[in-house]
Amino acid sequence: MEFVINEWFLEWHKPDAISEEQRKARVFTSWLLKREYRIVVLRNCDFTQKLNDIRRKFGYHPMGGIQLKIFFSQIFMNVERCRIVDIPPELPPEIEAILKRPPENPLKNIESDRYLFESAETTEEKIIVTTDTKLMAHFEGNGRYQLWGVEEFIIRFKIE
């Protein structure tokens, strides 16, 4: 199975992340290393930029240093654990329409999440794991992508 994660995973490696988020990031990394699942990431997107920023800024911290190094070296750089998409695919017109549709207030730039859908479009499952409840609500009932909350994903796959 392949799936897409957004920046929550990286944010949880920052020194100011709460301890429960840091614990879940460690457990998620460990779980992914033991499974035949693979994350999918679009090259040169917000996720990869944030990955590099956090590695550079917080390398001194155990989560930003040691834990993110494990993720980077054993998952992100491992073709069996992470598939990098070089060229974003074209999205179906109905998904383009949802991306361009104004979100409910308070406003959020849904277009900035385009890379998640471009990454997921290259997978069979089309699963996006996110903490962004606005994004999940905006794409509810889209008929193509499965947007799962992190907690839902953790429960479904018994990650602990």
Q: 15-47, pLDDT tens digit by residue? A: 999 999 999 999 999 999 999 999 999 999 999
pLDDT in the model for residue 148 = 97
With a CB cutoff of 8 Å and minimum separation 6, the contacts of 41 are 4, 47, 48, 76, 82, 83, 84, 85, 119
Q: Give pLDDT, residue 100.
A: 83
- Read off the pTM: 0.92
DSSP letter at 72 equals I
% residues pLDDT > 70 (the chain):
95
Question: 2-156 adopts what CATH topology?
Answer: Rossmann fold (3.40.50)
**Strand order, beta sheet including 38-42:** 82-85, 38-42, 2-5, 127-130, 146-149
Strand partners, 5: 129
Q: Give dist(CA 34, CA 3) in Å, integer.
A: 16
Q: What is the dihedral of CA 103, 145, 22, 109, to 10 degrees?
A: -20
Task: Tell me the pLDDT band of 107, cut-offs 50, 70 and 90.
Answer: low
Domain ranges of the chain: 2-156
Predicted pLDDT of residue 60: 86
Q: Which residues pair with 129 in a beta bridge?
A: 5, 148
CA-based max dimension of the chain? 45
8 Å CB contact between 132 and 6: yes
**CA 103/CA 1 separation, integer angstroms:** 30
pLDDT at position 68 over 70: yes
pLDDT at 5: 97
